[in-house]
Chain A
Amino acid sequence: EAGVTQFPSHSVIEKGQTVTLRCDPISGHDNLYWYRRVMGKEIKFLLHFVKESKQDESGMPNNRFLAERTGGTYSTLKVQPAELEDSGVYFCASSRRDRGNEQFFGPGTRLTVL
């Protein structure tokens, strides 16, 4: 069974540009989560999808961040326009509907905003 995959693995952009991160969860996992780790700080929750619906988006930092999960499969996280403080590692995780807490993580996307 394939694990959670994320694309790209690294992205370097300039302030003001737009970047879209993609996450493909484990097949059959209804729950999909986005987290972010800014250097030197703890990993922080961004949002949680159940299928295509946003269950909890309390961690989204501001309206420059837009997450979608059309069709309840893969998800995208777009940052527009990117700011310097958006730099960090963005992790995606997925879990089964009946084991929501057992989250399996992807390798992360390292975003650098210059």
Chain B
Amino acid sequence: AQKVTQAQTEISVVEKEDVTLDCVYETRDTTYYLFWYKQPPSGELVFLIRRNSFDEQNEISGRYSWNFQKSTSSFNFTITASQVVDSAVYFCALAAGNNRKLIWGLGTSLAVNP
């Protein structure tokens, strides 16, 4: 079975704090892709990153960084020095094997307070 678990339903931080959003996935396929999407209050889903199962290098993009660990089946997302504009729902998703369809976590609602 394929599954994505985002155990944190809601997180609230104060601006400039660092925050990590957890994502744990399950799949029996050896080839798969992991994704993070951001859903701001306006509702659209904004693509943030895609990582394939053969590339365990961590990625940094500005204040965003991603930590992919196959040993723990995790693909965590860290926002450094959070800002109010980071407030959104963040989704982790999985596409495994030859499947193009995305399997989604429930999302983590992040509130960054001034």
Q: A: which residues have CB within 8 A of B?
A: 31, 33, 35, 41-45, 48, 55-56, 58-59, 89, 91, 93, 95, 100-108, 110
Give Cα A31 to B100, complex, Å.
Answer: 9
Closest to B4 in A: A42
Contact indicator B43/A101 (Cβ below 8 Å): no
B102 on the A face (CB < 8 A): yes
Chain B 51-102 interface residues, beta-carbon cutoff 8 Å to A: 91, 93, 95, 99-102
- Complex contacts, B35 vs chain A, CB 8 Å: 101
Give the interface of B toward A (CB within 8 A).
4, 33, 35, 37, 42-47, 50, 91, 93, 95, 99-107
**Nearest-neighbor residue (CB-CB) of B106 within chain A:** A42
Find B44's partner among A43, A100, A103, A107 (CB 8 Å cutoff): A107
Quick check: A100 and B102 within 8 Å, CB to CB? no
Q: Which residues of A contact B42 (CB under 8 A)?
A: 107
Residue of A nearest to B42 (CB): A107
State the CA gap A110–B44 with chains docked (Å). 11
| Residue from B91, B100, B105 within 8 A of A100 (CB atoms) | B100
